[in-house]
């Protein structure tokens, strides 16, 4: 069964450093998302992306965050200057159409020291 792939599975960085989290969505999917889950808290929406544009973003997704689809297969989340509170599990997700099942990757555990 096709799956969403995320790399790396774990990322440790120093506060203030830039990180790029990578995702390969399912090949025929057109809608892409990033969510995050801080330890012990709910899964939170960050951003949705379609047709090379952000469709919607949450209050969390401030100027320090950006997303990009640099080629036909990858979808990336960049955090320019990481803060301690950015430590979380970051999930990428994709869907073929809106209002259809969302397929999630296994996540990248980001630790900011």
Partner 1 sequence: KQEVTQIPAALSVPEGENLVLNCSFTDSAIYNLQWFRQDPGKGLTSLLLIQSSQREQTSGRLNASLDKSSGRSTLYIAASQPGDSATYLCAVEYGNKLVFGAGTILRVKS
Phi, psi of 5 (to 5 degrees): -110, 130
Choice from 45, 60, 65, 76 touching partner 1 (CB under 8 A): 45
Q: Is 16 in the site for partner 1 (CB under 8 A)?
A: no
Phi, psi of 55 (to 5 degrees): -85, -40
Q: Is 25 in the site for partner 1 (CB under 8 A)?
A: no
Choice from 33, 36, 77, 110 touching partner 1 (CB under 8 A): 33
DSSP string, 88-107: EEEEEEEESSTTS--EE---
Cβ proximity to partner 1: between 1 and 14 the closer is: 1
Quickly tell me which residue has 């320019």 as its tokens: 80
Task: Supply 21's token pair.
Answer: 């989290």
Q: Is 94 in the site for partner 1 (CB under 8 A)?
A: no
Distance of CA 80 to the CA centre of its chain: 14
Find, among 73, 62, 64, 87, the residue nearest to 32 by Cα. 73
Choice from 15, 20, 43, 113 touching partner 1 (CB under 8 A): 43
Binding to partner 1, residues 60-89 (CB under 8 A) = none
Cβ proximity to partner 1: between 18 and 56 the closer is: 56
Interface residues with partner 1 (CB under 8 A) are 4, 33, 35, 41-45, 48, 50, 55-56, 58, 91, 93, 98-107
């Amino acid at each position: 069964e096709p799956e969403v792939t995320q790399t790396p599975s774990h990322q440790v960085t120093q506060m203030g450093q830039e990180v790029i989290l990578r995702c390969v969505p399912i090949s025929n999917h057109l809608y892409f998302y990033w969510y995050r889950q801080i330890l012990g808290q709910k899964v939170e929406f960050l951003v949705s992306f379609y047709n090379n544009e952000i469709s919607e973003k949450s209050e969390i997704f401030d100027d320090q965050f950006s997303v990009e689809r640099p080629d036909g297969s990858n979808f990336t989340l960049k955090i320019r200057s990481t803060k301690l509170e950015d430590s979380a599990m970051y999930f990428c997700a994709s869907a073929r159409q809106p209002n259809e099942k969302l397929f999630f990757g296994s996540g990248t555990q980001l630790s900011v020291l």
